[in-house]
Amino acid sequence: MGFRAGRGIADITGEAAECGMLGYGKADQQSAGIHTRQRARAFAFEEDGARLLLVVCELPLISDAVVREVLRRLPDGYGAANVMLTATHTHCGPGGYFHHALYNSNTGGFREQTFRAIADGITEAAHAATADLAPAQLRLFHGELTDASVNRSRRAFERNPACDRAHFPDAIDPATTLLTVERDGRLAAAVNWFATHNTSMTNRNRLISADNKGYAALHWEREVAGVDHLADSSPELVTAFAQTNAGDMSPNLGLKPGSGPTGDAFENTRIIGTRQYEAAAALAGGKEVVGGKEISGGLDFRVTYVRLSAVDVRPEFTGDGRPHRTSPPVAGAAAFAGARVDGPGFKGFRPGANPLWDAVSRRLVYPFAPALRDAQYPKALALPAGPVNRVLPMVQECAPVQLLRIGPLFLVGIPGEVTVVAGLRLRRTVAAIVGAELSDVLVAGYSNGYIHYVTTPEEYDAQEYEGGSTLFGRWELPALCQTVAGLATAMRDGTPAGPGTPEPAVPVGRRHRRGLDDAPHPGRRFGDVLDFSLIGRRASASFVAAHPSNDLRRGGSYLSVERRGDDGSWTRIADDGDWSTLFRWARSGGATSVATVAWNIPPDTLPGAYRLAYHGDSATKGPFTGVSEPFQVP
């Protein structure tokens, strides 16, 4: 029969104003506009009655709550085993869409609007992909990209055995892998996997951004293929840039936030994104796909739910020849120090030794809890999430671990941030059992939930940020290797995998509540122009605004850049999803606010008359639009 494949794309942008952003964990990083919108890109595959669905979401993380809601809405034949929801891990997206309380700590509670925008958009993209199923040829490509990542935790990496370090001579994972969908000899879709954190934008940024991986996808679709995301219901090309084992990989090549290759976060986002795009596009060879490994051999899938707080790990996986057991989740003091290369954490904490917390753990806790010591030592215990979970669900303990097969390609779905060497061990485990080439086995991190970090036991002992954030202790990776070995064996033998038991559904918890207290400036109306400037190649206009949360404009835009035609009509040429635009919102006192629309005029813009428009929604007056006076672009 051959493969059938389909693709779909949808907007998943949440609250663009006064919503805590997820990723850096900073209370003052509240959304205040949009640089680029967030999108979900779905890819459906079908062969001989088997189905798979992969959805790459420009989100900080995937929450268990979102997974449950999306699975509930998918067509028959799609479920937890054959659907992978994976995040690109931008740190500049609205949060509050978890039912686990830790991730809503800077959002005032659960944000219903953002949760709905995400769940609705993912579902919309998935339905579009399944409706788009058609005969297709799939190809798999492998390449290397060496100037878009750096190891931010070198001290921990160097603790690994020489045989593991030798696999990564530059302490990075340079592999860039591309899966293409071809119809009638032309490129219809592409999914790229490459390991680098999506943290080119710093924790000082307050504009929603899909970051470097989002830029790579936006550039390929919008600038290269000419896709209009607001008008094209069935775009000619859908591309996604997904994560692999990026746990210790940073795009900040200068080894500090917002540095590398330049000192400007926006420019770094564009450059690191461009490098990922160029590496992927070079593999694909343009619109006419050539080369690569043509995929055959069918589709397969397995999933199991594992309670990572209580896994008995067999000696063949522990590395020391003895059985061990994981423990309930505990965050270490080093976790609160943050990943300093990407974004510092909280004062009073640091990677490695934390004398006060070390002393408390080693003198007052570990001597009286030998099982905890075996699992968690030498971690300086700071947040006992396991005991807290019994009172208030803080973090996920029971997580799905997934294995998908698309011909020769195997995707190991891990709901966490896996370091490159931890990923190598997971990949080797699967490859040895199923008989695959190691390059054809990828860890799909950030998939189907979130359990924080996954480090090797050797890296764990360094207690850098990543080790402090490995919640279930030094045997967490061996437990996951044991789990994926079971999935790989079941797939090889054609037998079912033990399903495990999903975590009980967590109640929503505290909800964020906000009054919609909009009012225009005295003597003004909503949409009135307050200011306009054209300086060089940058046009900017400020308007009397309403709160963006009155209507998230999912699938729409808060702004438009319009060009006047020969007949006098105005045509939109850019919106708030474009790289060249900025939408900012700020309160100006009490219930009044200002929206600023900015356009960095691209060099290839046609000469002519243009104007900027702001589209808002008042809680009492409904939708409105404000437009600037026309201006000339030479």
Active site residue 250: yes
- Active-site choice (149, 209, 250, 469): 250
The token pair that represents 453 in the structure block: 């970090």
Host H or E run for residue 279: helix 265-284
Alpha helices in 93-180 (DSSP H): 112-131, 154-157, 162-165
Q: Please provide residue 623's backbone torsions phi and psi, each rounded to the nearest 5 degrees.
A: -70, 150
Burial grade of 339 (CB within 10 A; 0-12, 13-18, 19 or more): buried
Provide the sign of the torsion angle of the four alpha carbons 189, 198, 472, 158, taken in this order. positive
Strand 529-535 to 538-545 pairing: antiparallel
Provide the sign of the torsion angle of the four alpha carbons 125, 48, 399, 248, taken in this order. negative
Farthest CA pair distance, the chain: 82
CA-based nearest residue to 271, from 282, 286, 284, 258:
258
Host H or E run for residue 134: strand 134-135
Only one residue has tokens 């992978």, namely 84
92 neighbors 43 (Cβ within 8 angstroms): no
| DSSP states of 338-394 | EETTTEE--TT--SS--HHHHHHIIIIIGGG-HHHHHHHTT--EEE-HHHHHTTS--
Q: Please provide residue 530's backbone torsions phi and psi, each rounded to the nearest 5 degrees.
A: -95, -30
Q: Which residues are catalytic?
A: 250
